[in-house]
C-alpha cells in the first residue's frame, strides 16, 4: 500500500485533534474529488513499518484524540488487507483513542454485502473502526454546511452500534 500524506494535529476530519492518513488507490473516481491524485494505487510513498511507527508516535500525546483514514479509498480491498494489522496495533497501543474512516463505499450495500469492496478481511477491518463516514461524494448534493462530509448522501455512522444491532445507527457526536 502507498499513502499520499500524513497530517498531524488535524481538526477537520473527525472529532478533536487527530492524526490523518491519506491512503492511495481509489476506483470510485468521484466527480470533483478533492484528491484525484490519490486514485493511483502507487501515488506517494510506500506504507512501511517505519511509517506505522511514525503514526503510532504521532498518536502518543494525550491531546491527540485518534486516527482518521481517508484517501484515496481506505476500503479498497488491497488497502484493507494492508491496513488491518496496523489498525490492530493502533487499537492495542491506544485503546481509548478513536478510529474514523471515510469511505466512498456504502456500509450496507457494499461493505456488508457481496461486492467489489468486500473481501476476506472487511469484517475485521470494520470491527476496528469507531466512526465510518460512507458514500461517494456527489457534486450535485454538495453542501458546505454538513459536518465532516461533503455531500448530503454521505452518512456518519456509529460503527460499533451499527454492527451490534444490525441497523444503521447514526453517529450523534
Rounded CA separation 172/159 (Å): 12
Rounded CA separation 153/137 (Å): 8
Rounded CA separation 88/95 (Å): 10
Question: Residue 173 has what pLDDT?
Answer: 83
Q: Domain for residue 53, yes or no?
A: yes
Q: Domain for residue 171, yes or no?
A: no
Question: Residue 144 has what pLDDT?
Answer: 92
Q: What is the mean pLDDT of the chain?
A: 96
pTM for this prediction: 0.96
Q: Domain for residue 173, yes or no?
A: no
Q: How far, in Å, are 35, 128, 140, 145, 171 from residue 101 at the CA level? A: 16, 10, 23, 20, 13
The tens digit of pLDDT for each residue in 113-128 reads: 999 999 999 999 999 9
Range of the domain at 135: 2-165
Question: Residue 26 has what pLDDT?
Answer: 96
- Contact predicate 47/74, CB 8 Å: no
Q: Domain for residue 12, yes or no?
A: yes
Residues facing 22 on adjacent strands: 5, 70
Q: Domain for residue 170, yes or no?
A: no
Q: Domain for residue 45, yes or no?
A: yes
Report how many domains make up the chain: 1
For residue 167, the 8-state DSSP code is S
The CATH number linked to 102 is 3.20.20.70
The C-alpha cell at 29 is 473516481
Q: Is 153 exposed, middle or buried (0-12, 13-18, 19+ CB in 10 A)?
A: middle
Q: Domain for residue 13, yes or no?
A: yes
- Contact predicate 55/19, CB 8 Å: yes
- Contact predicate 2/47, CB 8 Å: yes
Q: What parts of the chain have a pLDDT lower than 70?
A: none
Q: Domain for residue 32, yes or no?
A: yes
Amino acid at each position: 500500500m502507498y499513502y499520499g500524506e500524513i497530517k498531524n494535529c488535524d481538526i477537520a476530519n473527525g472529532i478533536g485533534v487527530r492524526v490523518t492518513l491519506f491512503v492511495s488507490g481509489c476506483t470510485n473516481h468521484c466527480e470533483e474529488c478533492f484528491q484525484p491524485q490519490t486514485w493511483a494505487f502507487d501515488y506517494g510513498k510506500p506504507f512501511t513499518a517505519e511509517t506505522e511507527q511514525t503514526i503510532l508516535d504521532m498518536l502518543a500525546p494525550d491531546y491527540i484524540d485518534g486516527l482518521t483514514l481517508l484517501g484515496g479509498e481506505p476500503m479498497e480491498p488491497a488497502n484493507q488487507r494492508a491496513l488491518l494489522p496496523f489498525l490492530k496495533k493502533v487499537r492495542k497501543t491506544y485503546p481509548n483513542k478513536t478510529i474514523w474512516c471515510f469511505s466512498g463505499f456504502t456500509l450496507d450495500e457494499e461493505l456488508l454485502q457481496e461486492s467489489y469492496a468486500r473481501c476476506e478481511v472487511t469484517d475485521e477491518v470494520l470491527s476496528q473502526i469507531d466512526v465510518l463516514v460512507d458514500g461517494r461524494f456527489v457534486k450535485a448534493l454538495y453542501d458546505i454546511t454538513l459536518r465532516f462530509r461533503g455531500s448530503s448522501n454521505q452518512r456518519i455512522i456509529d460503527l460499533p452500534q451499527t454492527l451490534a444491532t444490525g441497523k444503521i445507527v447514526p453517529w450523534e457526536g
